[in-house]
Chains A and B, each alone.
Chain A
Amino acid sequence: MSADEPLVRWDWIAGHLDEVALRVGEHLLLTVVAVSVGFVIAFAIALASLRWPRAYGPATWAAGILYTIPSLALFALLIPFTGLTLLTAEIGLVGYTLLILLRNIVAGIRAVPADATEAAAGMGYTGAQTLWRVQLPLALPVIVAGIRVATITTIGLVTVTALIGQGGLGYFILLGIQRFFSTPLLLGAFLSVALAIAADALLVLAQRALTPWARAR
């Protein structure tokens, strides 16, 4: 970086708008796939943990281990098996969402008032009807809180996947570091933060729309 180089070269950004759109798209896709797949897996484990409570301890323990492995180390471990692929990136990203999602789904369902589930059973709801029509809707605020944390975390982590060639906004950050060029570096960092804030706001709005009762007092 030369001394007369400005911190941000707007002309460079203006000339790379297509690239910006592409990387934002990749970043979003990597995030959405990771959180969605993570949610499906966490949901299945959560249901199993509610049915067999003894499974919950080992499940959170395993998810906790995944959560503590540094992302770069995890990619390095996976590359011999899955290569520099999207799969490698997603395995890592999904792994990081599991602990948060699992904990919040289970905590949310366990926090449903016992009188509501007892009334449901007493009026002739089957177990599945109680789950889908009473427990899950009531657990939604806590579950969405988990999805928000998982989404923000994932959006931050996706910047790392550029290292294994899977694109996303990390591409700009990497480019900036490699070329000692502050413009793409700042652009990548700024956009990933903006994306996290926007995604969080969207989830808050979605939750408010889905749980009008939670604000009724």
Chain B
Amino acid sequence: MTTRGATVEFRDVTKRYARAADASRAVNGLSLTVGAGEICVLVGPSGCGKTTTLKMANRLIEPTSGEILIDGRNVLSGDPVALRRRIGYVIQQVGLFPHRTIAENVATVPELLGWPAARVRDRVGELMELVGLDPSYAGRYPAQLSGGERQRAGVARALAAEPPLMLMDEPFGAVDPIVRERLQDEFLRIHRALGMTVLFVTHDIDEAIKMGDRVAVMRAGALVQYAPPAELLTRPADEFVARFVGADRGLKRLALISCGELTLREPPTARAADTIARGVGFVLLVDGERRPVGWVNRARPELGADPSSPLVTRETRVKDALSALLAAGVATALVVDEDRRLLGTIALDDITHLLAERA
């Protein structure tokens, strides 16, 4: 079920509108290249032309001038209907057909392409599993699903014919933050498995940073900066981008780094409390499997081990480790492996140094 991603190239693409009311949706001389298998997020304030840009890729909006190439072929010269059947499309309101069951909705494009019924049926089952929808949902109507479930069905429908390119217009904008986070994580997992190219529109910079391999910041129909998320946060191209990514861009950057990327400290450890010599400082008490028990104060070992340091893994985002430290009110986090065995520690200082050195 691996899909090869398509390359997408916008060459000096312009869309002008005759009516003044539509002018804010215009796009001016946009050039942008998306590598095969990348997630490119188009982000910007409303009316920056990001949705117009997205819809020009499947010709729901026809550009006034310029070229759009998918895998090197100019899409503006072919048949738009055939083009759209090769491109996955997900919109914020999902757009499931209310009169068709979930299985029928998911089967839309394969049926348009004339797949045999058995193949369509197998594919629908496969897709529902992929997006985490229980098979019992196959016969339900969209109105019988929650917002998050509908969005999963929308993603399944867009993936049905294994498109090398997916266009997603604020796909997770209409669900609550908790569901949105889960859908984002699941979509990233699906993307890792399938490897299709994705053009993703959002107005939410946090979503852009989380989802994008590259982020295209747009303003008034033009591209302001096109860079990987970390670069956007460390070197915003201008004042507009800096303001748009937010004053907390340092903190946001911490969400892009995992604890495993830091140099871990080796704390002094002891297997048993009675082996700890009196003195100054703290010793980490561990059990026979090197699982942390807690910190022992050498000055007053009789107080026992203090277990309040948070546990994190190599995969934990530094931002989350920082939150855990702040919540626990301590200065050191313990990095452990999947069996909870100690790998090292991270101190609050390490995180502040990180901010200073990369800023």
Contacts and interface: CB of A to CB of B under 8 A. Distances in A.
A138 to B, nearest CB: 6
Interface stretch (B80-88, B204-212, B273-281, B296-304): B80-88
Contacts of A120: 95, 97
B228 to A, nearest CB: 28
Contact of B89 (A123, A134, A211, A212): A123
Interface residues of B, number: 28
Interface stretch (A73-81, A102-110, A111-119): A111-119
B275 to A, nearest CB: 67
Contacts of A217: 143-144
A118 B95 contact: yes
Given A115-B95, A118-B95, A123 B144 contact: no
B127 interface: no
A122 interface: yes
A121 B144 contact: no
A122 B99 contact: no
A119 B96 contact: yes
Interface string B130-161: 00000000001101100000000010011000
B198 interface: no
B84 A121 contact: yes
A216 B102 CA distance: 12
Contacts, number: 71
A137 interface: yes
Given A123-B85, A216-B144, A211 B99 contact: yes
Contact of B143 (A137, A211, A216): A216
Nearest to A119: B95
Contacts of A118: 60, 91, 95
B40 to A, nearest CB: 18
B141 A122 contact: no
A125 B83 CA distance: 11
Interface residues of A, number: 22
A37 to B, nearest CB: 27
B112 interface: yes
A211 B81 CA distance: 28
B109 A213 contact: no
A126 interface: yes
Interface in B294-321: none
B91 A122 contact: yes
A116 B144 CA distance: 16
B52 interface: no
A122 B58 contact: yes
Nearest to B158: A123
Contacts of A213: 98-100, 141, 143
A158 B348 CA distance: 88
A212 to B, nearest CB: 8
Contacts of A15: none
A121 B84 CA distance: 8
A125 B112 contact: yes
A28 B269 CA distance: 95
Contacts of A126: 81
A138 B99 contact: yes
Contacts of A125: 81, 112
Given A213-B143, A216-B143, A217-B143, A124 B98 contact: no
Interface in B95-128: 95-100, 108-109, 112
B94 interface: yes
A67 to B, nearest CB: 31
Contacts of A113: 93, 95, 98
B109 A123 contact: yes
B89 A119 contact: yes
A49 B108 CA distance: 28
Interface of A: 113, 115-116, 118-126, 129, 134, 137-138, 211-214, 216-217
Given A116-B95, A122-B84, 6 more contacts: A115-B91, A119-B91, A121-B60, A126-B81, A213-B100, A216-B141
5 pairs of A and B residues whose beta carbons are closest in the complex: A119-B95, A124-B85, A122-B89, A115-B93, A124-B84
Interface of B: 58, 60, 81-85, 89, 91, 93-100, 108-109, 112, 140-141, 143-144, 154, 157-158, 167
21 contacts: A115-B95, A118-B60, A119-B96, A119-B97, A122-B89, A123-B84, A123-B85, A123-B89, A124-B81, A124-B82, A124-B109, A124-B112, A125-B112, A126-B81, A134-B99, A137-B99, A138-B98, A138-B99, A213-B99, A214-B99, A216-B143
